[in-house]
Structure 1
Amino acid sequence: MDNSELALRSVNVIRYVTPLREGGSMPAIAEADDGFLYVLKFRGAGQGAKALIAEIFGAEIARVLGLRVPEIVFASLDEAFGRIEPDEEIQDLLRASEGLNLALHYLSGAITFDPLVTKVDSKLASQIVWLDCLLTNMDRTARNTNMLIWHNELWLIDHGASLYFHHSWQNWEAQAVRPFALIKDHVLLPFATELEQVDQEFKTLLTPAHIASIAALIPDEWLMDEYSFGSPAEHRQAYVYFLETRLAHSEIFVKAAEDAREGLI
């Protein structure tokens, strides 16, 4: 990857197709002016811009590591977009999300990953568990796997619950070196038998330059409402520090994941 060229495309949303009533964020399938359908994540939803920031970090780090994730794009909503929407709840969401949002390419025909139906090999399972430990992603459980099977391949979606420390920023430096206890609920943990090997490979692939380049994608306007920092640049750098520190001490979360896996046997 050439970090100097890392960028996300921008589209304008032209048609609201249907809501996806999942959890509290209520994303939607929408059509953009490039002719494609997207799963639209709204800045005005419950977790606000933080969920969109986590989505960018999660998806783009996964992409650097060679895992399959849908393309993500910046998606703009015009102020007139929601005026004809009859559902008041959706209309309020659209009004609160005017301007810049985030969208994932819609994988038409994809089916939800079911661990009882589709077997994942130990290498891929270990790669995904490692990623979610790094990101502190609590949302890849048997109840909600956030994985899809598309064209007989496994795709990762919805990283908005990652980096949950940023909802308060309390003791965030210390959290960077803590194990990820919630990995015990990860749907792929029983199959993740190659974590140490994956750790060595991924620490070579994911460099500080990659992390900084991904952080640079975050729009300043999504970093304005956090009073813990004096500027968007300082706020952005905190994410970089957290991820670089966590990466440098990955043996901590790898050991915790291995212990959790042994506890399942």
Structure 2
Amino acid sequence: MSTIFNSKRWLWIIPYLFLTPWLIGILVFSMIPILTSLYLSFTNYNFVSSPDWVGLKNYLTLFNQDPQYLQAIKVTFTYVLVAVPLELMFALALALLLNKGIRGLGVYRALYYIPSLIGGSVAIAILWQQVFGEHGIVNQVLGYVGIDMPSWVGSPDYAIWSIIFLKVWQFGSPMVIFLAGLKQIPQDYYEASSLDGAGRVKQFIHVTLPILSPIILFNAIMQIISSFQAFTPAYIISNGTGGPVNSTLFYTLYLYQNGFGNFQMGYASAMAWILLIIVACFTGIIFFASKKWVHYED
């Protein structure tokens, strides 16, 4: 055996031997389930009987005969297009504040990162349900200033906003990445722009944002992908129904209802593949548009 591997002709196989456990893992736990779900998306499958091939029926039904599916898309798009920009702006604002060199930076950074670690948990979603309830903390505070609000989670007009606020509250991860990027900006740029008469606002627009644009791109893509996959907050706050009046019927929640509630696994698989295409399209559009606003040092 040692003689075989000592031959230069067989050296190419050594890296693949080390990659074998990973290759087996990605094949068994990723590729096979992905290809299986693609096959099931063209079938009628209910866990009990064998899959029955129906062709494009599941996809046609989604867009032509299922108004709840279109509502799920509307709710999810609203969530993504509102929550992600707000979260990134809030994260960048706090990163700029922490970049001022305040004492105890590590403590503040850890405290602000905690929501990102626990924000997707069931316990936080339950707590959020209580905070935005009819007699929750938010309504109590608003009541002190004379604003009378109904239950946020029980109102079709405000339920989605309670979940959006939860997403914005999970700003810790992009904030830490923004802070790391801000630390890498040379102070010479600010000193040179200051000598040219640029104030703080112009420095932010013409120095900070262009240099930070690759990190903004990265954070935007990561947060958009995670937002399309949001499930736990909508499930807990609506008690698994997507209510009130389907106002929190997220795409993933409706997928779960079809797959594990109605046992329409073929239908749910079709939904999953459409979601994959939607996320890929969003990512592709952002990458294409990034040529206009993302600037690299080279």
Same fold (TM over 0.5): no
TM-score by length of 2: 0.22
Higher strand share: 1
Larger RCO: 1 or 2 (CA < 8 Å, sep 6+): 2
Which protein is bigger by CA-based radius of gyration? Answer: 2
Instruction: Name the TM-score, length of structure 1 as normaliser.
Output: 0.24
